Amino acid sequence: MSLGPGDPELITLKGLNRLRRADRIFCPATLASDGTIVSRTQKILNEAGIPETNIRLFPVAMDTDRYAAMYDYADVVRNIEKEYEAGHHVVITAEGDAGFYSSSSCISDMLTVRGIPIERIAGVPAFIACAASENIRISERDEEASIITRLSSAEELIGYIKAGRTVVLMKVSRFEALVKEALQDAPDNVSFHYFENTGIPEKAYYTHRINDILSRRFPYFSLLIIRTERTQKA
């Protein structure tokens, strides 16, 4: 079940109806440095008026090797299977869209192997919501767009930019140094749109100024939209 980027008003009507009908709603959570369990999806549900009694949190390890996360997924799948076999209507939540760079796909695959039927509800990806919030066109006419979650070098990013593509950089905290290096070497006719924590009013941040971007420390929930500004033909 896709919740969108964080604003409860961006949950689709179909998705909201599924949430209201659910007996059990499983939400991913992370362990904070102080030992508390934090869940952005739980907060979205709270703001959408979903009863707290229906929500079940499951911790997911934030680790690049993903071994610990896979262990957590297997654990929650066992719990979901028990609820399903008990006749409960179960929903598993995901931010953005569940089919777009979402860890929920691992859970979906495990449930399918166990013979449990899955229905995926579409949601609004974060980069779409970001672009809309600042009236940014991602692509138009015959323009191409590239969505990137990994970079090997600043030169790789410059190559995408010089090719004239719109570039959407997801999870930019993973390669912050490379992005900042590329920003300083990019052509003059390129605009940079940097976003943090879209959908969370008290934490959301946006800037298109390169110096401001260079001075930021990129948090986990951050992304960058890069566009080559073209001269309109008469």
Residue 179 resides in a domain: yes
Tokens of 188: 């003059």
Of the two residues 116 and 72, the one the predictor is more confident about is 116
User: Which whole number is the average pLDDT over 60-85?
Assistant: 85
Tell whether 130 and 106 lie within a shared domain.
no
Structural domains counted in the chain: 2
- Spatial distance between the Cα atoms of 145 and 127, rounded to a whole number of angstroms: 12
**Residue 98's domain spans which residues?**
8-113
Residue 120 resides in a domain: no
Summary mean pLDDT of the chain: 91
- pLDDT-derived band of residue 59, with 50, 70 and 90 as boundaries? confident
pLDDT at 234: 37
Residue 233 resides in a domain: no
65 has a pLDDT exceeding 60:
no
Q: Which tens digit of pLDDT belongs to each residue from 145-188?
A: 999 999 999 999 999 998 888 999 998 999 999 999 999 988 88
- Spatial distance between the Cα atoms of 4 and 1, rounded to a whole number of angstroms: 9
- Spatial distance between the Cα atoms of 87 and 83, rounded to a whole number of angstroms: 7
Q: Are 134 and 124 in contact (CB under 8 A)?
A: no
88 has a pLDDT exceeding 80:
yes
Tell whether 137 and 92 lie within a shared domain.
no
Say how many CA atoms lie within 13 Å of 64 toward its Cβ. Answer: 5
Last-in-domain residue among 113, 136, 167: 113
- Name the pTM for this structure: 0.86
User: Which whole number is the average pLDDT over 205-234?
Assistant: 87
Q: Are 5 and 125 in contact (CB under 8 A)?
A: yes
Tell whether 35 and 105 lie within a shared domain.
yes
